[in-house]
Structure 1
Amino acid sequence: MYPDNQLILVFKTNIRTCADRLSVKAALDNEEGISNWNVDMHDVDCVLRIETPGITTHEVIAIINRQGYQCSVLE
């Protein structure tokens, strides 16, 4: 169960390998607006799941794009 102030954001990415994951790790770990995150590299959509008290989807996409990866909201 998550606290009421936590949102779960889900994205489709091209983060496919452990090396890719390491490339985005510092940026995601250092973002104050992200409580927790993980990437399911076994899923066809390489799903990035973010737990946050309030970072926006646009901010997450910008963070991932700055690292050289693609990211879009998973509907």
Structure 2
Amino acid sequence: MNILVFKTDIDNTHKLASINNFFAQIPEINHWSVDMEDIDNVLRVETSGDILESNIIDLLNKIDVYCQDLA
């Protein structure tokens, strides 16, 4: 299992719903959460398999979500 940590612009429930629908289609993502109380709106993604930080960033950019690696 890998834990990937990102800075994002996820600051509302609409973006959360979009990400939930998107991540639900990716079996390698076991769990994810967003801390919207943090100034960086930190996204934590628990993965299995070969998903890299760059994969998550690219996927989220496709749905207009800003995402930057924090690790």
TM-score by length of structure 1 reads 0.86
Q: Which runs of 5+ in 2 are unaligned?
A: none
CA contact (8 A) 1:28 1:63 kept: no
Q: Give, in whole Å, the separation in 1 of the partners of 2:61 and 2:5.
A: 15
- Structure with higher Rg: it is 1
Q: Give, in whole Å, the separation in 1 of the partners of 2:37 and 2:63.
A: 21
Q: Give, in whole Å, the separation in 2 of the partners of 1:7 and 1:23.
A: 23
Q: 1:29 aligns with which of 13, 24, 27?
A: 24
Report whether the alignment pairs 1:15 with 2:26.
no
Write 1 or 2 for the structure with the bigger share of strand: 2
Identity %: 37
Name segments (4+ residues, structure 1) moved above 2 Å: none
Over residues 4-53 of structure 1, what are the superposed CA-to-partner deviations in whole Å (9 max), with x where a residue is unaligned?
xx111000000001111112111111112211101111110000100011
Match for residue 61 of structure 1?
57
TM-align CA RMSD: 1.0
Q: Give, in whole Å, the separation in 1 of the partners of 2:24 and 2:54.
A: 17
TM-score by length of structure 2 reads 0.91
SS at structure 1 position matched to 2:6: strand
Q: Give, in whole Å, the separation in 2 of the partners of 1:17 and 1:51.
A: 21
Offset at 1:57? 0.6
